[in-house]
Amino acid sequence: MQTFVLGAGLAGLSCAEALVRAGQSVTVLEKESAVGGMARSFKLEPYCVDLGPHRFHTNSTTVDAQLQTWLRGDLLLRQRLSRILLRGRFFDYPLNPQNVLTSLPPSLLLRAFSDWAMARGSERLRHREHDNFESWVVAHFGRTLYDIFFGPYTEKAWGIPGAHISADWARQRIGHRGLWDVLKQALRPVAAGRPRSLTTEFYYPRRGGIGAITQAAREAVVAGGGCVLTDSCVRALELRRDSGGPGHRVARIRLDGGRTLALDAGAQVVSTLALPALARALRPLPPTPVLSSAGQLRYVAILFIYLEVDQARVSPDHWIYLPEAHLRTHRISEIKNFSDASSPGPKTALCCEITCRVGDATWRLGLDQAARLAEMDLVRAGLVQAGSTRGLALRRLARAYPIYDLEYRGHLECVRAGLAQVTNLHTTGRQGLFRYNNMDHSIAMGQQVARGLVSGAAQGGERAAAAVASEEVFFG
């Protein structure tokens, strides 16, 4: 069977590799000149940096085994460290109760506890379903902790008020039932031989940055007889009526530059493209409600500002969250702390992230302006000296985070129902499912769709892919 996979990120390449392993004919089409998608790396001499910081961790033994095979074990196992810098103090991330108890002033702690007790009391009297992030967190942690820890960073990173963000986000990122559960968990003794925790260790390729994973995946696809075409941007999917039913099938794929690929009668298409882009690429276009819902699926964009700093190291952290509103940067990361090989020499390099919307004033900043702005934030945060940094490069990512606003579920269902009318088109991965996920999830999502195609149960494969990371609580 012939399969075209759209997009050579982790989901697309994992799917392609599983298909070639099953003896199928696969062509991967990638618009960029290199594979990797969001999990790509690039050289900024002498550094090798990622598109924002990436730590690999997984609960899945299948995904773990896949990673070990691709990288032939050439992986570093790192102790994870990320913190929140707030009011001049560092707090562990995910929040650690001992650390919070010892770092907040007693008066604030007292207020936090009384707020939380009041919120719990009122919940007991009158249980309510919380549909938005703010009310969910306030009900579970109290107003004071929301205002200090949960609200500012989330609202800064998403660019919308917490009351406009779906409670799905709180359930996925926080997961605990509330402050009481966090405290109980912290007080529980650590069992001997307890398995490695997602929150304590992660893998990182010894060389080549996080992008070494997709490079290895690409090699595996090619070694298995598959074809990976970069600089191949998919512009349109031409449909024809499905002779066997009421739906349509993809008959031809049109690429940038006028190239077209004709599909065999039984050929399949797996797309890891963003759903709005995919819906708009169909010819004929899908019905207006589907297009309109696709247009309502929104994203946070990120401007990545890479700086070199005239000092050996800024902090021991892989990344530091900066929730305070007076700083434009919301997170910084230091590549040296991921791998020495990625940061040779006496200086260090930082990646400063600012969330924005495509086309806004932040998105349009040039390197000099952006580097000045980032340095100002770092100086105010007490992390570097004024005049000690040099702008290295900028990168922009338009669809960095899917926005789980209060309406996204309805729009997503409408788009997925519309796309389901195209019987040989299957969507997967972070963009194809509009799912805030991690790298291991994208690998599993790609593998699930491949499994479905190989076993002749493509819809089952798509459902299994959509179920990945839907219940799990995880941190980036």
Ligand X SMILES: Cc1cc2nc3c(=O)[nH]c(=O)nc-3n(C[C@H](O)[C@H](O)[C@H](O)COP(=O)(O)OP(=O)(O)OC[C@H]3O[C@@H](n4cnc5c(N)ncnc54)[C@H](O)[C@@H]3O)c2cc1C
Residues that bind ligand X (CB under 6 A): 6-12, 29-32, 37-39, 52-56, 233-234, 272-273, 277, 302, 397, 400, 429-431, 437-440, 442, 476
Give how far Cα 221 sits from Cα of 200, 208, 425, 465, Å: 32, 19, 21, 20
Q: How many other CB atoms are there within 10 angstroms of residue 12's CB atom? A: 34
User: And the tokens for 33?
Assistant: 């000149």
> Which residue of the chain is nearest ligand X when measured via CB?
37
Residue with tokens 């707020």: 115
Q: Determine the residue type at 231.
A: D
Minimum gap (Å) between residue 36 Cβ and ligand X = 6
Choose between 40 and 143: whose C-beta lies nearer to ligand X.
40
CB of 319 to ligand X, least distance (A): 8
39 or 216: whose CB is closer to ligand X? 39
Contact (CB, 8 A) for 57 and 201: yes
Peptide bond just before 97 cis, omega within 30 deg: no
The answer to whether residues 431 and 454 touch, using CB atoms and an 8 Å cutoff, is no
What SS3 string covers 220-257? Answer: HHHHCCCEEECCCCEEEEEEEECCCCCCEEEEEEEEHH
Three-state DSSP state, 420: coil
Judged by CB, which is closer to ligand X: 32, or 147?
A: 32
The smaller minimum CB distance to ligand X, of residues 142 and 286, is found at 286
Complex with ligand X: residue 56 or 93, whichever CB lies closer: 56
Tell me the closest approach of the beta carbon of residue 399 to ligand X, in angstroms: 7
CB of 28 to ligand X, least distance (A): 9
Q: For the CB of residue 19, give the shortest distance to ligand X in the complex, in Å.
A: 15
Place of tokens 């495509």: 358
User: Quick one: 145 or 465, whose CB is closer to ligand X?
Assistant: 465
d(CA 235, CA 246): 25
CB of 409 to ligand X, least distance (A): 20
Q: Minimum Å distance from CB 318 to ligand X? A: 8
Minimum Å distance from CB 387 to ligand X? 28
Nearer to ligand X, 104 or 400 (CB): 400
Bridge-partner residues for 262, per DSSP?
A: 252
Nearest partner of 32 among 224, 228, 176, judged by Cα: 228
Nearer to ligand X, 144 or 438 (CB): 438
Q: Which helix (H) or strand (E) holds 60?
A: none
